Amino acid sequence: MKKRIPRHIILPMIILIYATVMAWTNREGFISPASRPTYILISVIELLAIIALFFFLRKKEELKRRREESER
């Protein structure tokens, strides 16, 4: 039986890849001294949101698993 990759890993990974690609395509914003703080701030906020999403989804899946086990 093939083991399934959990949703709390897949979704944040997809969003992280997307955010990395967007940061790479807009890297001129990092080179410009005027917009560097904004670029860094947005990148940090995106990273924090991805980390929060990971923990939220992991907790949600854990609660769902516990509920399914208790119903048996």
The pLDDT, as a whole number, for residue 72 is 76
Mean local confidence (pLDDT), 46-60: 96
How high does pLDDT run on average in the chain? 90
Between 16-20, 30-34, 66-70, the lowest mean confidence (pLDDT) is in 30-34
Q: List, as one string, the DSSP characters of the chain.
A: -PPPPPHHHHHHHHHHHHHHHHHHHTTHHHHSTTTHHHHHHHHHHHHHHHHHHHHHHHHHHHHHHHHHHHH-
Mean local confidence (pLDDT), 20-28: 88
The pLDDT, as a whole number, for residue 54 is 96
Residue 46 has pLDDT above 90, yes or no: yes
Domain residue extents for the chain: 35-61
pTM (global) more than 0.85: no
